[in-house]
Chains A and B, each alone.
Chain A
Amino acid sequence: MSAAGSAPRLYWPAQRQRNRGVKGLLTVVAAFLALYAYLFPGLISVSGVAKFSQSWLPLVLVSMAQAILMLAGGVSLAIGAMVSLGAVIAATTMAGPLGVAGGAALVMVAGLVTGAACGIVVVRLGLPAIVVTLAASFIVGGAALLILPRPGGAIPAWLSDSLAGETPVAALLVILAVVLWKLYLATPLGLSLYAAGENSVAAYRAGVPVDSARIAAYAVSGLLSTCAGLFVAAQTGSGDPVIGEAFTLNSIAAAVLGGVGFLGGRGAMRGAVAGSLLLSVMINVMYFLGFPPVAHYIAQGLIIVGAVALPEFTARRSSP
């Protein structure tokens, strides 16, 4: 990145400053990862990492999709439907004449366009994001059902094998997603997200392209969601028109867990990524601890609240 290591230091120190809010969570996540590795030593191997990152990747992508919107002062209840849309487009096109490249392009375009459409409605018409995206979830979900009325379709086996086989491609994809996000945030449009989210009037007066930043956020969010759908389809080898449903609430949980605020401009993407990691690793840890389902539910509730409340509780409050 051209930005790194400039003479009067700015980029990395500014990055470091943004770590402050997520330190507590990062500690909790690290502890859970360590516990997981202790319970299941097989994790520390190529295929261990491969398998774990495969189950984590879709959640990271949707959590990022949600966090972008929340940073921009929005929220989406359509994430799950967008994942389903991505999955069914992939499963109906990739094995056909369009091929993998054509199918992937179609998935991305669908995500960008649908996301941007939501963004335009929310931003230009000034409608509350939560209901617009609720409506969008029905529209997009309906479209997914039209494309593929029941689970089926196919993904070429080589694609499934390379994305979700024994090699940790998924882990690389997580890294790629984070790097791309860093790059996006290093563009004027990306950085504007924070200003537009925190105080859009002031940002507008300061010449920040507020509306474009927010609409772009919706588009990027849509893109990430449908890409998550593509990966899910590859991972499962086929499409399912309702596969994404659980992602909507999970993405919100991960982002909020990661300290991304609901009112815009608060928090950082690394928090959302860590939040999604915690949600994902928690499932495996509880399995290896031998918890029965009832204990799963109770423990999950406790861990989620604890991960948020503990750092908050121990941090000395410096403002009223």
Chain B
Amino acid sequence: MTPAPTLAARGVSKSFFGNPVLRDVSIALHPGRIHALLGENGAGKSTLINILSGALLPDEGVVEIDGRSFRGLNPRDAHRAGVAVVQQELGLTSQLSIAENIGLGALPRRYGLIDYRCLARRARAAMDLVGLDEDLATPVGDLPLGRRQMVEIAKALFREPRVLILDEPTSSLSAHEVETLTSLLDRLCAKNVAILYISHRLNEIMRVCQHVTVLKDGVVTADRSIEGVEAADLVRLMVGRDTGHLFPAWTPTTDRDPIVSVSGLSAGVLRNIDISIRRGEVLGVGGLVGQGQEDLLLSLYGALPASARTAEFNGRAKLPSSVRKANALGLAYVPADRKREGLHLIHNIGWNLMLPSFARAFGLSLRDRTKERALASALADRFTIKGDLTRQVQALSGGNQQKVALAKWTPAEPQVLLLNDPTRGVDVETKREIYALLRRLAGEGKAIVLSSSDTPELVHLCDRVAVMREGRIVATIEREALSEEAIVAASMGADLMRTAA
């Protein structure tokens, strides 16, 4: 006989504009248990947690807190009842300090004013829990994505929740940060907090969680203890069929002449970088989060003012000085922060897919709608973006948004693809598709630069991995020597390697 669930949904259904997203879903979160919620992109996970936390109202069904059912639950009530949600990457106010962000919505007060002393103390405690050592007063806008994610988590912990819901908390975290988080979850679990954990990284799920609910197309396909379940089983439950290996077979490419080579590159935090990118390879860029990986990609892409001693781009001896020039040289870039940098959320999917073409075309020519539709449909098919393309991109689930951000470059037939964490928030099945696509493109002689916080991805997919630390490339590891340990060691610094050796 298990104790009563702290938070539960009973027979919840929800549809958007007539499209059912959740159908008769029930889920129960128990104290001291880490509960995994699994499903493909668009399965309805975020919608479900939005309902659980009062951000959305269900069409049918009820949310229960400690056995009491709520009809019109709103976020403030949910907070008061001890439910805290870690939204992914969206909840922070960039101008306010880390501490103020952590406290927002639950600020301690004295005489009606914010008690900054208390806030500082408690925020510091929450930050310590997640391993944030930044100054309390740092504006959140200054932080790289991964750190912001940690702030989000600290913000949830600040409220000392009884129920903690995490929506893909690890997708922008480095291996080290993931470690911190998992041990933290274990400790919370021991303190009888009920935890709901969403992730597309199955190995994490297998390691961290005790119970799993699988959603497929808005219906619960499994609700069971995780004991004795294989990762492959989970995938089958999510996808509805057997799938192959996550990573495609790696075949060495023969075409090895560099398409881009730069020496002495300086830009943003980058200091004197030498790099060459070869046709037909996937060049990984690894390291702890925020060591200059993004600046490297942006400066190659002409989006960041940069200088270099020598540069050779597809036969042209100069760094591209603008994005347009980079595009003309055959470069394309897929940003990590798809909502801010990659997509136009208020515009529809088809339009987003066509935007690079609009950017290239002669401005005052007439658009050919028929051709646009055919092209957009073909792209959507190829990247398995389902459904109506006239919907706004913001109505897509996170993973599907990422597919749009990738797919839109295909018509430009880029020679060099600069990818900044392209599989963040993407479900296994889509990941598999993306990986296969990348290898296929490499096989066609394209050059691919893959910056990733997901170390296994670097190990299994790349021909070489450049590891960055403090704006420099500290090691370039060839295929033969590639392993997670090697990458982590290089990213933690030469000193560590020496002591390790």
Contacts and interface: CB of A to CB of B under 8 A. Distances in A.
B495 interface: no
Interface stretch (B134-142, B235-243, B276-284, B446-454): B134-142
Given A198-B94, A199-B91, A205-B91, A192 B104 contact: yes
Binding site secondary structure of chain A: loop
Interface string B90-108: 1111111101100011110
Contact of B117 (A6, A195, A198): A6
Given A199-B93, A207-B106, A320-B304, A187 B112 contact: yes
A17 B75 contact: no
A9 to B, nearest CB: 7
A10 B91 contact: no
Interface size bracket, B side: 35 or more
Contact of A195 (B85, B93, B137, B303): B93
A204 B77 CA distance: 12
B295 to A, nearest CB: 9
B97 A17 contact: yes
B79 interface: yes
A163 B183 CA distance: 63
B95 A266 contact: yes
B104 A10 contact: no
Nearest to A320: B303
Contacts of B5: none
B415 interface: no
Interface in B69-101: 75-76, 78-79, 85, 87, 90-97, 99-100
A82 interface: no
Contacts of B93: 194-195, 198-199, 203, 265
B119 interface: yes
Contact of A208 (B104, B115, B120, B298): B104
Given A7-B120, A199-B91, A203-B93, A2 B137 contact: no
B311 to A, nearest CB: 18
A202 B90 contact: yes
B75 A8 contact: no
Nearest to B79: A207
A124 B110 CA distance: 30
A288 interface: no
A62 to B, nearest CB: 23
A6 B115 CA distance: 9
B16 to A, nearest CB: 15
Interface string A13-30: 110111000000000000
Given A2-B110, A199-B91, A17 B115 contact: no
Given A206-B91, A208-B105, A318-B268, A191 B113 contact: no
B55 A18 contact: no
B33 interface: no
Given A17-B138, A204-B55, A9 B112 contact: no
Interface in B192-223: none
Interface string B250-283: 0000000000000000001000000000000000
A191 B114 contact: yes
Residue with the highest number of chain B CB atoms closer than 10 Å, among A199, A206, A208: A206
A203 B111 contact: no
A191 B101 CA distance: 10
A11 interface: yes
Contacts of A319: 304
Given A3-B116, A14-B100, 6 more contacts: A2-B113, A8-B136, A183-B113, A191-B107, A194-B95, A195-B96
B53 interface: yes
Q: Please give me the 9 A-B residue pairs with the lowest Cβ-Cβ distance, nearest first.
A: A6-B117, A207-B105, A13-B137, A320-B303, A10-B120, A3-B116, A8-B120, A202-B91, A14-B97
Contacts of B79: 207
A10 B137 contact: yes
A8 B104 contact: no
A152 to B, nearest CB: 41
B94 A17 contact: no
29 contacts: A2-B110, A2-B115, A2-B116, A2-B117, A3-B117, A8-B121, A9-B136, A10-B117, A10-B120, A13-B136, A14-B96, A14-B136, A17-B137, A17-B138, A17-B139, A191-B96, A194-B96, A195-B104, A199-B91, A199-B92, A202-B92, A205-B50, A205-B75, A205-B87, A205-B91, A207-B79, A265-B93, A267-B95, A320-B323
